[in-house]
Structure 1
């Protein structure tokens, strides 16, 4: 496989995992080998009036030089309304050539459905669907922000003389997800400089449970207002490629000035690709809960105008 093809394939896989984490049961795999997917989009998840299914096929050249091949499926979508929506999707692609755009497409369609719902009578009856997640939570893994004895020393210095902007930010902890005795839990903190990233990591490692995790995967994105660029980086901590996938999810959601750490306690049973799904789900849940996700319009502008700066990362095998 050519190097360019390998790069596109990796970016596609990262985007697919991110979309599955963001949309859950709304996202459906039609043909994994052919990269064909379908997502059910409605104006309101709890009380849908208008629903549309977007089917996409990702060509080998996507996202570099070719758009997804797509089909819009809805019995009510006809004529000028279909043409207008197709034009909107193609305009989003042109504005963001070379970038992952499935999230932007889905949320654009959702905006159109919401506007339609506000302007018209309810559409065809749509069966309500409830989503129940079988999440096994252990009380002792829902961590409080209280310091414990430090059991792991990090290889950086955190100065005691912190300036106001370099104070330790508050740290929130997400609800754990347990699968086959492996447990995943996300931690989130607002950050505006790399020093705060180090301070958050040091603080988390003061907790015995976090310090004893098999992996502490993290990623952060800091928006530099003066240069209109993102300072961002990630770390696998032994879970190969997990940090890059986490950062890709954060890019798609266009989050800024925040870091997410996902701890994994390995339970002795290999999870395969499911481990990446759980890592992304944990991260997405806490980002949504703490209102870090932005509107599709802001995401589109950020993808089109802002450069992204990454540091080199070390990759290690599990």
Structure 2
């Protein structure tokens, strides 16, 4: 496999895992080998009036130089309404060439359905989903923040003469643990605006013996630089290969900024396979939504279209422009 193909395949896998974490049962795998997926989108999860199924196939060149191949399935979607929605999706692709755009497409369709619901009478009845998943939680893993305790530097050099407004220890929130086959995952979140705060948050978390004893503490952060209109971002696997990159990719898709997420995993002795990445992303997504860090689809599209991203190890990269034509699954 060529190096470019391998890179595209990795980015596709990361996006697929992120979409599954974001949308849960609404996201469905049609053919894993052929990279064909379907997602059910409605104007309202609890009381849907209008529903549409978006089916996509990811070509080998996506997201670098080709868009997803897609099909819009809804009995009420015809004529000009279908053409307008297709044009909107293709416009999003053109504005974000080289980026992962499935999240933007789904939320654009949801926005169209919401507007349609507000302007028209209810559409065909749609069966509601009532099944809920029980999440096993261990009380002793729900951690409380202790802002009064001093920060131990550990391996980090935290200067005592820091700027109070920018480099003080930010508040740290802890998410609800997810347990699967004796492995437990828990997310921790803190607002950060500079790299030194990232180190301070890690140092503070490692003061907790439970967190310090975790098998892995995977983290990622994104800091928006207003003056340069770029993102300063980085991630760490902490021994869980590729987990940090997947976590960062989820944060990119959700377009979060000025925030750090750490996911602790306590290994229970049973291998989970790819499910471990699902739990890591679910933990992170849940706490980001709970703390209102996710932005609107419009903001996400604008930000992805005009801002570049940089990390500590990589320079700014540019994606080649390509033209788009209409792609439809047969």
Q: What range describes the TM-score normalised by the shorter chain of this pair?
A: over 0.9
Contact 2:27-2:40 within 8 A present in 1 as well? yes
Contact 1:15-1:100 within 8 A present in 2 as well? yes
Structure 2 unmatched runs, 5+: 310-330
**1:140 alignment counterpart:** 140
Residues 27 and 125 (structure 1), Cα distance of their counterparts in 2 relative to 1, 3 Å cut: same
Contact 1:150-1:208 within 8 A present in 2 as well? no
Deviations 1:65-124 (A, max 9, x none): 110000000011011100100000011011111100000000000000000000000000
Deviations 1:5-45 (A, max 9, x none): 00000000000000000000000000000000000000000
SS at match of 1:226: coil
Deviations 1:124-151 (A, max 9, x none): 0001112412210010000001279999
Query: Normalization by structure 1: what TM-score?
Result: 0.95
Q: Which moved more, 1:114-123 or 1:151-160?
A: 151-160
Determine the C-alpha separation between the residues in 2 that align with 1:292 and 1:147: 22
Over 4 Å off, 4+ runs: 147-153
Deviations 1:141-170 (A, max 9, x none): 000012799999632111222212111000
Residues 296 and 149 (structure 1), Cα distance of their counterparts in 2 relative to 1, 3 Å cut: closer
Determine the C-alpha separation between the residues in 2 that align with 1:85 and 1:54: 12
Once the two structures are superposed, the pairs formed by residues 86-165 of structure 1 within 5 Å of their partners are 86-146=86-146, 154-163=154-163, 164-165=165-166
Deviations 1:182-235 (A, max 9, x none): 000000000000000000000000111000000000000000000000000000
Query: With CA pairs under 8 Å and 6+ residues apart, which has the higher RCO, 1 or 2?
Result: 2
Determine the C-alpha separation between the residues in 2 that align with 1:85 and 1:24: 24
Determine the C-alpha separation between the residues in 2 that align with 1:243 and 1:210: 17
Contact 1:184-1:262 within 8 A present in 2 as well? yes
Contact 1:190-1:257 within 8 A present in 2 as well? yes
SS at match of 1:210: helix
Q: Which moved more, 1:298-307 or 1:272-281?
A: 298-307
Deviations 1:294-313 (A, max 9, x none): 011111111111110xxxxx
Determine the C-alpha separation between the residues in 2 that align with 1:278 and 1:152: 30
Determine the C-alpha separation between the residues in 2 that align with 1:153 and 1:267: 29
SS at match of 1:64: coil
Contact 1:54-1:72 within 8 A present in 2 as well? yes
Contact 2:151-2:204 within 8 A present in 1 as well? no
What is the RMSD computed on CA atoms of the aligned residues? 1.5
